[in-house]
Structure 1
Amino acid sequence: MVSLSDPKKRSELLRVRCTSEDLERWQAMAKSRDETVSGIVRRLLDGTPEKRRSPIPPVDVALLRQVAMAGNNLNQIARAVNEARVIEAHADARDVLGHLVIIERMLLELIDEVSA
């Protein structure tokens, strides 16, 4: 298989004899690194460093739910403003501003919780 990042077409085949145990171990190693056995061999023989991928951080479901709720609140406010239902009087504008301040505080509290 030709890598999309490597414009050279690989036309030559290198065969290596190994035990079935070696092959299984190499395939498991390649799979755990999200590579092919061929890719590992090329990288080792060429002396190119292994590409390290950042691990995907675990998702905090409760935090995600809270951020989604804040986003829903913002969308409802934006929809109301865009439909011109809210900004009919200065009192309504103050209500919108009050809701935005509440949402801002919620988000700042979430940031503090996550940072702690």
Structure 2
Amino acid sequence: MEKRERVIKIRCTDAEYDALVERSTKLRLAEWIRETCLGVPAKRGAPLPTVSPELQRQLAGIGNNLNQIARAINRSQWNSIDKVSVISELVNIQRSMAIIKTEHSNDR
């Protein structure tokens, strides 16, 4: 699949923008404009897996905690060996979280 790298910027009034959004049959305006102007249907990506809302909240909380830990490591005066050790553990936790998310996906 060819990567989209070119950007087209247009200026419009609030009324023009609202009219475009109102006419759009797609969730994303850019996708609708491509289909309308180029006459080519949008290519569908792989569907995202669905995860139970409770599990998603728990994973998000864990992720937030991990981000706070990473910021603390970057701000502090830890020696290199300690930083590498903690970062290694963070990577292991990230991998474990990905496995848990996959195991609890409704799209298995």
Task: Report TM bin, short chain.
Answer: 0.3 to 0.5
**Length-normalised TM-score, structure 1:** 0.41
**Length-normalised TM-score, structure 2:** 0.43
